[in-house]
């Protein structure tokens, strides 16, 4: 039986604002609670020997939220990384950022880029923050870069294949996630890693992200293992039938 741990887990951290409102708090207080949970999930992934964790921290669609909530979400990385960066260095955690950073306020962009640069030589778990990220934008910006290089005679378009194109995405050099988790009860991908998750196992839970924990992550991984084992068994049966 295959009990493999997914190398790359991606999480849509949904339900922070609703968690706060349900408790009579502000949506921003819900996001703060989500940031605290995020730290626990990083710890859990280290314990489970997950090599890469991608967290959907701010989508390109989130700009349409109320101004005070957006402002808080822009400030949160500054506060988070100022507090956690020494710990990330001590624990050998490698921070990556995926998304359109050019559109962010200077303090937010600088905090994200500083964390990525400071931890760039760390060799432990990779924690990839998808910030101001959208899957369609990811693909479009990749296409624009390819067109630019072709027009400048830096690339022969006949060389292009899926592996090469992946190097033009925000997540370049990272393998595709085997498991994508969405908390908060919604059952859609919401423009998250559209190219990268084309073959991923999807796992949905009604639990709001601030209540997501190590035990629930373990349940998601067990479900991933059950499905991949089932796929393997079905493939073996099919190959046996074909061979006669």
Indicate the annotated binding residues. 14-19, 27, 31, 59-61, 63, 65, 182, 188-190, 201
Is 14 a residue of the active site? yes
What are the C-alpha distances in Å from 159 to residues 90, 103, 146, 151, 169?
Answer: 42, 32, 11, 14, 17
- CA angle, 33 then 6 then 167, to 5°: 90
Is 154 a residue of the active site? no
Tokens of 241: 């039938």
Binding-site positions for substrate read: 15-19, 27, 31, 59-61, 63, 65, 182, 188-190
Give the contacts of 119 (CB within 8 A, at least 6 positions apart): 85, 88, 89, 93, 94, 95
Binding-site positions for Mg(2+) read: 14, 201
Whether residue 125 contacts residue 39, with contact meaning beta carbons closer than 8 Å, is answered with no
Q: Which residue has the tokens 């990556």?
A: 96
Catalytic residue among 2, 14, 82, 92: 14
Q: How many CB atoms lie within 10 A of CB 28?
A: 20
Ramachandran angles phi, psi of 52, nearest 5°? -135, 130
Whether residue 141 contacts residue 132, with contact meaning beta carbons closer than 8 Å, is answered with no
Q: Are strands 126-133 and 52-59 parallel, antiparallel or unpaired?
A: parallel
Ramachandran angles phi, psi of 79, nearest 5°? -65, -45
Catalytic residue among 62, 100, 122, 191: 62
Ramachandran angles phi, psi of 201, nearest 5°? -80, 135
Tokens of 30: 């819900």
Active site residues: 14, 62
């Amino acid at each position: 039986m295959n009990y493999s741990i997914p190398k790359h887990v991606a999480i849509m951290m949904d339900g922070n604002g609703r968690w706060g409102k349900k408790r009579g708090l502000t949506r921003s207080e819900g996001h703060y609670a989500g940031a605290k949970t995020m730290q626990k999930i990083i710890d859990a992934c280290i314990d489970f020997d997950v090599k890469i964790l991608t967290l959907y921290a701010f989508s390109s669609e989130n700009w349409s939220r109320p101004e005070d909530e957006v402002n808080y979400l822009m400030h949160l990385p500054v506060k988070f990384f100022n507090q956690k960066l020494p710990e990330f260095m001590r624990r050998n955690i490698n921070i990556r950022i995926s998304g359109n950073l050019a559109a962010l306020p200077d303090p937010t962009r600088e905090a994200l880029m500083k964390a990525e640069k400071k931890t760039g030589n760390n060799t432990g778990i990779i924690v990839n923050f998808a910030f101001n990220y959208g899957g369609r934008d990811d693909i479009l910006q990749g296409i624009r870069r390819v067109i630019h290089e072709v027009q400048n005679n830096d690339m022969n378009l006949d060389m292009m294949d899926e592996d090469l194109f992946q190097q033009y995405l925000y997540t370049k050099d990272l393998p595709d996630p085997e498991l994508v988790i969405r908390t908060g009860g919604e059952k859609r991908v919401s423009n998250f890693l559209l190219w990268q998750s084309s073959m991923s196992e999807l796992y949905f839970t009604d639990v709001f992200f601030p209540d997501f924990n190590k035990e629930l992550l373990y349940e998601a991984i067990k479900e991933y293992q059950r499905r991949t084992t089932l796929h393997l068994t079905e493939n073996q049966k099919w190959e046996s039938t074909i061979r006669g």
